[in-house]
Structure 1
Amino acid sequence: MTIYYVNSATGSDRNNGTGQNSAFATLSKVESLKLKPGDSVLLAKGSVFNEQFDIKYSGTESAPIKIGSYGTGTAPVIHSGGDGIHSLYASNIVIENLKISNTGTAGIYGGSVTNWTVRNVEITKTGMSENAGAVTFRSSTNITVEDSKITGVKGDGFWIEKVAGVKLLDNTVTSANGSTADAVQVNDSSNILIKGNHLDQTNADSPKGVIALVRATNAVVEDNVLTGGGFGISAPAGKNVAIRDNDISGFHGYSWSFAVGLGDQGNARDYDISGNHIHDGAWGVAISDASGTSYSRTNIKIHDNVFDDLSQAALKVDRPASGSFTNNTIETGTKATAISPSIVDAHTFTVSNNHTVANVETALASPVAKTAGVTEASADPAVVAVHDNLKIFTDTGEAHRGNLLENDSSDNGTLALRRFGDESVGKHGLTLAGEYGDIHVDREGNYAYTLDETKLPDHGGHVSETFSYGVNDGTSQHSDGDTLTVYIHLDGLLR
């Protein structure tokens, strides 16, 4: 088990590469080695490599080959006219703590590979040919990508095709651009878990959507924040698919835009769509088929979701289907269902025990009230947000910290920061540029505000700026909003 070091600034390919003071200079030198199970290749932080890195050899399950980084400073960067990292047939590989940018095709490409883990990798400006996803795996087994960030890429953020065993966990994808791009595209794959990701296509130039899950078998999509795009989740064909506890919003652009859609590219069987907050879009759940082909859509269960601020109905069923739409909460002003008369007459799709509320943010959770069929707004909201202030008298360049939720309350004792400014707060938080500084927030309500002295006016007195925010009780059933105002006393600053 050997550790090889690579430093583009101080290394030399004449070195043996086994020490930080005897590092290699290029990735091609590493490629000339026959890596063995348990070996590691560490790239010096601050290094820049203008070459594709080919991984040719395999580790074992107990001793994978690891590609990572060492030292201090910014993550090492790989640029390439082709892929950033490329591999065929290699197994048991770990890639972590790197940055890949400005590549001609994929940031990471794996074909017929097994047991790969990618973690804490940043990928940007990849796929300039628009023919590849930033992270692409084909005909492979057991692929995990976690805690990674993909932004401003051409083509899909993830392109996964014919993979048995897929885990996409706690990643961020922002603006996957291109005429055919989705944040995540998974085709003809099985045993899929897409969880805890923040996927935002709001500012992408793609006419498509956020997640495309095509012909999946045994898939779970849960606890994600999905924003923007022509659709939220397209799961047009598959078997045993669960879509639950996601926040899906901002799906606009077309008369057919939907939060969750199925039924138009093959048979769809055993779908469970539950616990989602679906809002600020066109259709909610659409069971449809634009082409009119005779696919089977069976056992589609849609329950315990919240629908609000939709221009169309919460549920659309315009092709033969069996299933149920039960125990959902729908805000006044949003149409509950649009079901074709022939399907109503067939009695194959049950609609029952759904509840209309005046405002989902203040809806009662009382089982007694729900049995009445219509639940009106509560006089006292289940979540209460209280105004927050940050006063800055002196500044040393460090962030000024606080917590937005410590003075707020909820009936169930749980609070989460859902939105800040006009943005959704994802698993990894959110950073916004303000008028006088930058602020980072996370879902637990922690914030860090850093002044930017170049933005401050050249006079005494004080200035201020205000950020709006929204909180909920962790279920998206009840929420409230307020503001954080930052007061900056210019006379006391150390400038």
Structure 2
Amino acid sequence: MTIYYVNSATGSDRNGGTGQNSAFATLSKVESLTLKPGDSVLLAKGSVFNEQFDIKYSGTESAPIKIGSYGTGTAPVIHSGGDGIHSLYASNIVIENLKISNTGGAAIYGGDVTNWTVRNVEIAKSGMSENAGAVTFRNSKNVTVEDSKISDVKGDGFWIEKVSGVKLLNNSVTSASGSTADAMQVNDSSNILIKGNHLDQTHAVSPKGGIALVRASDAVVADNVLTGGGFGISAPAGKNVAIHGNDISGYHGYSWSFAVGLGDQGSARDYDISGNHIHDGAWGVAVSGATGTSYSLTNIKVHDNVFDDLTQAALKVDRPASGSFYNNTIETGVKATSISPAIVDAHTFSVSNNHTVASVETALASTEAKVAATTEAVSDPAVVAVHDNLKIFTDTGEAHRGNLLENDSSDNDTLVLRRFGDEAVGKHGLTLTGDYGSIHVDREGNYAYTLDETKLPDDHSGHVSESFKYGIDDGTSHHSDADTLTVFIHMDGLLS
């Protein structure tokens, strides 16, 4: 396992490259090497490389090849008239802590690759030819992109096509502004998790939108914030798609603009659209399609969402479809439904138990509570919560930290903390006051417990404890479990 160093300012391709004082100067020199599993290529911070970097060799699952950075200062930058980083057929690759900008093609392109992780990469002004997504993967397996920033690109922020196993987590895309550019486009892919991203198309010059999820199988789109563009989430065809907990707004550029739309590029079945806040737009959820299409649209559930400040109806159904629209909250002034008479007469799309409110503020809190209620403890082997303990022996006044989910498990490797105590865990977390201190938790399961010594009993021997119940699910709300965090406070020596 060898570490190779590359420094565009002080390196030389005549060097050995295995030390910071003997760094290479160019990426092309690295390409001439036969990289082996476990090798790392580290680019000096402050370096600028005006060349495409081709990754030709594979790591293993236990020993991936890593491309990263070293030193101090700004992240190393790759510029290129072609792609920034390009690879075909390589497997088990990690790319992290870089910047890629001003590329003619994609910032990162992977074709027929397996087990790639991209994290903490900044991408700007890529795809100047407008023919590529900033991050493009095709015909691949197990691709994760997380904690990365994409801005001012002339194409899709992400273009994912025919990939089995996609995770797009906690990324930001700002102004993917090509003429056909979406912030994220995922086509013909499966086992998809799009979670915690912030997608802002407010200033994009395009009728496109936030997320285009086309012909997806087994997809979860959760807890994202989407602003602007022609639409929020277009999921026009697919099966087993869950869209929940998203905040979608500002998509009112066109009369057809929608927050969530489906039905115009193929059949769709088993969609669960729930717990979203949909506001400042045209249509809410549109079950629609081009005139003359005969796609099958079945089991489309739209429930427990909040709709406000819409110029059109919260629900539009103008093509034959089966499903239900229930337990939604709709602000006064927003039309609840626009369903074609033929569908009404067919009784295939039911409407029940929706509520009209003057203000959505209290309704949002109510919706969070409804979503959290789905995590009540049940026997469900797909998600397993394990009891957590926090033991406090000494106290400096600082918070005592841990994570509730690290010892829990789920079949799809995704866990979300939905309820803590008797309250829902919102997007910004939750703070509760207990018997002996206060605790803050977030949806990722992180907690910080701060002891209040004034609440401890006068008898400073032995210990006291308090417990907090919590509920988790697998990101889909289909599988859930619950358990308890117990805080043990040992007072011997804690107080004087």
TM-score by length of 2: 0.74
1:54 aligns with 2:70: no
- Counterpart mapping for 1:94-105 below 5 A: 94-105=94-105
- Asked if 1:41 is matched to 2:41, the reply is yes
Q: Does structure 1 retain, via aligned residues, the 8 Å contact 2:306–2:364?
A: no
Distance change (3 Å), C-alpha of 1:255 and 1:93? same
Q: What's the counterpart of residue 111 of structure 2? A: 111
Instruction: Indicate whether 1:231 and 2:245 are aligned.
Output: no
1:361, distance to aligned residue in structure 2 (A):
1.2
Q: Is this contact kept in 2: 1:106–1:136, CA < 8 A?
A: yes
Matching residue's letter, 2:277: H
Helix, strand or coil: the match of 1:362? Answer: helix
Q: CA deviation at 1:264?
A: 0.7
Contact between 2:306 and 2:363, CA under 8 Å: does it hold in 1? no
Does the 8 Å contact 2:201/2:209 carry over to 1? Answer: yes
What's the offset of the Cα at 1:363? Answer: 3.8
For residue 221 of structure 1, give the secondary structure of its aligned residue in structure 2. Answer: strand
> Contact 2:304–2:327 (CA<8 Å) still a contact in 1?
yes
Is 1:326 paired with 2:329? no
Asked whether 1:345 is paired with 2:342, we answer: no
Helix, strand or coil for the counterpart of 2:78?
strand
Alpha-carbon spacing, 1:255–1:52, altered in 2? closer, same or farther (3 Å): same
SS of structure 1 residue aligned to 2:314: strand
Q: CA offsets per residue over residues 11-31 of structure 1, 9 Å max, x none?
A: 000000000000000000000
Task: Tell me the equivalent position of 1:6.
Answer: 6
2:133 equivalent in structure 1: 133
Q: Which is further off, 225-234 or 288-297?
A: 288-297
Distance 1:234 1:146 in 2: 22
SS in 2 for 1:194: strand
Change (3 A) 1:284 1:366: closer
Cα deviation digits, residues 256-293 of structure 1 (max 9, x gap): 10000001100000000000000000000000012331
Contact 1:31 1:55 in 2 (8 A): yes
For 1:155, give the aligned amino acid. G
Q: Does 1:301 align with 2:276?
A: no
C-alpha distance after superposition, 1:83-105 (max 9, x if no partner): 00000000000000000000000
Contact 1:84–1:103 (8 Å) recurs in 2: yes
CA distance in 1, matches of 2:185, 2:164: 15
Which deviations, in whole Å up to 9, do the C-alpha atoms of 1:348-383 show, x marking residues without a partner? 00100000001111349789xx9xxxxxxxxxxxxx
Shift of 1:415: 6.7
In the superposition, the TM-score normalised over structure 1's length comes to 0.74
Tell me the secondary structure at the aligned position of residue 144 of structure 2: strand
SS state at 2:218 partner = strand
| Equivalent residue, structure 2, for 1:450 | none
Secondary structure, counterpart of 1:335 in structure 2: coil
Matched to 2:198, the amino acid is H
Instruction: Report if aligned partners of 2:274, 2:304 keep a CA contact under 8 Å in 1.
Output: yes
Deviation at 1:414, TM superposition (A): 6.2
Kept after mapping to 1: 8 A contact 2:214/2:236: yes
Task: State the alpha-carbon separation in 1 of the partners of residues 79 and 25 from structure 2.
Answer: 15
Q: For residue 185 of structure 2, what is the aligned residue in structure 1?
A: 185
For 2:8, give the aligned amino acid. S
Q: 2: distance between equivalents of 1:56 and 1:284? A: 46
Which stretches in structure 2 are left out of the alignment for 5+ residues? 371-421, 430-441, 443-447, 449-496
Provide the C-alpha distance between the structure 2 equivalents of 1:178 and 1:66, rounded to a whole number of angstroms.
31
Return the offset for 1:412.
4.9
Q: Evaluate the alpha carbon distance shift between residue 366 and residue 265 of structure 1 in structure 2; reply closer, same or farther with a 3 A threshold.
A: closer
- Tell me the CA shift for residue 253 of structure 1: 1.2
Q: Tell me the matched-pair count.
A: 378
String of CA shifts for 1:177-205, please: whole Å, max 9, x gaps: 11100000000000000000000000111
Partner of 1:454: none
Q: 1:241 — aligned with what?
A: 241
Asked if 2 retains the 8 angstrom alpha-carbon contact of 1:264 and 1:291, the reply is no
Q: Matched residues in 1 for 2:305 and 2:210: separation? A: 19
Q: Structure 1: any 5+ residue segments left out of the alignment?
A: 371-410, 419-426, 428-443, 445-495
Aligned to 2:255: 255
The equivalent of 1:276 in structure 2 is 276
Q: In the TM superposition, what whole-angstrom CA distance separates every residue of 1:435-454 from its partner, at most 9, and x where no partner exists?
A: xxxxxxxxx9xxxxxxxxxx
Change (3 A) 1:313 1:117: same
* Residue number in structure 1 paired with 2:476: none
Work out the CA distance in 1 between the residues paired with 2:166 and 2:423: 34
Aligned match of 2:357: 357
Q: In structure 2, what is the equivalent of residue 452 of structure 1?
A: none
State the distance in 2 between where 1:219 and 1:172 align.
19
CA contact (8 A) 1:116 1:144 kept: yes
Distance in structure 1 (CA, Å) of the matches to 2:291 and 2:153: 31
3-state SS of paired residue (2:336) = strand
Alignment identity in percent?
Answer: 87
* Change in 2 beyond 3 A, CA 1:34/1:340: same
Divergent runs of 4+, >4 A: 364-367, 411-418
Amino acid across the alignment from 2:353 = N
Q: Give the corresponding residue for 2:79.
A: 79
CA distance in structure 2 between the aligned counterparts of 1:159 and 1:364, rounded to whole angstroms: 33
- In structure 1, give the amino acid aligned to 2:180: T
DSSP 3-state at the match of 1:49: strand
